[in-house]
Amino acid sequence: MNSEEQLREDLFQLVTSLKSYILLEQDSGRKYSSMYLKGEVPSLDATNIEDTDKGGETAFIPSLTLDDVRQELGDCQRCNLCEVRKNLVFGEGNYNADLVFVGEAPGAEEDRQGKPFVGRAGQLLTRIVEAMKLTRKEVYICNILKCRPPENRNPKPEEIRACEPFLIKQLEIINPRVICALGTFAAKTLLKTDAPISRLRGRFHSYQGIKLMPTYHPAYLLRNPGAKKQVWEDVQMIMKELMSNE
C-alpha cells in the first residue's frame, strides 16, 4: 500500500469512527455535540468526569460505558436482520478485558440464548481460552453483527455498515491490549482489507493502535481440525504479548 492509499484508508477509518459517535449521539437525543474522536460521549453524570490536562487547560472528558452502548442499540432495527433474529447478541465478558475476541455473527444457538459463542464453535473457543490459562469471564467476546443472518449466510455489506459503529464503540470503551479477530469477516472488517485470513493470520496488525491478531474461526476448525496448529501458534503469540505487557 502506497502512502496515498494509506492516507485514504486512515481517513476512511476516521470518518467511520466519527460517524459512529454522531449516530450514537443522535439516537440518544442528548443535547451536546459530538466532539470527542476518542469516543467518550458526554454524560450528564458528574461522577463520570475525568480531568485531563490539555496544554495547561483542563478538559472534562466524560466516559461512556458498555451498558450505555447496549442501551443505545436498544431494540435495534437498523438493518433487516432485526426481522429474523430471536435475540440480539451484544457480547459478554470482562468490561476491562485485556483480550477481546471478535467473531462474525451469532449462530442458531447464540440467537436462541442471546449470548455469543455458545454453540459447538463456542465450546471450542472456550477450550482455546482455557488453554490460554484464562476464563471466559476474564476476556470479552462479541461479533461484528449482533443479529443472526438467516441460515448463517455471510454478512452483507449494508448489515456490517449498520452494525459496525456499535462494535467500534465496544472496542474503544474496553480498550484491550489485544484483539483476536476470529475468521475472515472479522479480520477483513476490522482491518479494512480484502486479504484472505490465511495471509493475515500469524502476525499482529494494528487496529486503532491496538494489537490485532487474526486467526481462523472456531467453526472453521470444526471442519478443518488440521488448522488447529496454526491457531495455537497465533494464540501463543497473543499470550506472549499479554505477558509482556504485564
- Nearest residue (CB) to ligand SF4, 79 versus 180: 79
Quote the Cα angle for 213-214-216, to 5°: 135
- Nearest residue (CB) to ligand SF4, 65 versus 77: 77
Q: Round to whole Å and give the CA distance between 63 and 50.
A: 8
Q: How far is the CB of 7 from ligand SF4 (least distance, A)?
A: 29
Q: How far is the CB of 92 from ligand SF4 (least distance, A)?
A: 15
Residues 143-172 close enough to bind ligand SF4 by CB under 6 A: 145-147, 159, 162-163
- Nearest residue (CB) to ligand SF4, 77 versus 245: 77
C-alpha of 163 from chain center: 11
Instruction: Extract the C-alpha cell encoding 223.
Output: 471442519
Q: What are the phi and psi torsion angles at 201 (to 5°)?
A: -70, 165
Q: Round to whole Å and give the CA distance between 175 and 128.
A: 22
81 near ligand SF4, rule: CB under 6 A:
yes
Task: Name the one range near ligand SF4 by CB under 6 A: 3-11, 42-50, 77-85, 118-126.
Answer: 77-85
Q: Which residue has the cell 505487557?
A: 245
Residue 246: how many other CB atoms lie within 10 Å: 6
- Nearest residue (CB) to ligand SF4, 64 versus 88: 88
**From 66, 79, 102, 139, residue interacting with ligand SF4 (rule: CB under 6 A):** 79
- 175, 93 in Cβ contact below 8 A? no
Q: Round to whole Å and give the CA distance between 197 and 173.
A: 26
**From 41, 64, 76, 132, residue interacting with ligand SF4 (rule: CB under 6 A):** 76
Q: How far is the CB of 242 from ligand SF4 (least distance, A)?
A: 29
**From 41, 64, 88, 197, residue interacting with ligand SF4 (rule: CB under 6 A):** 88
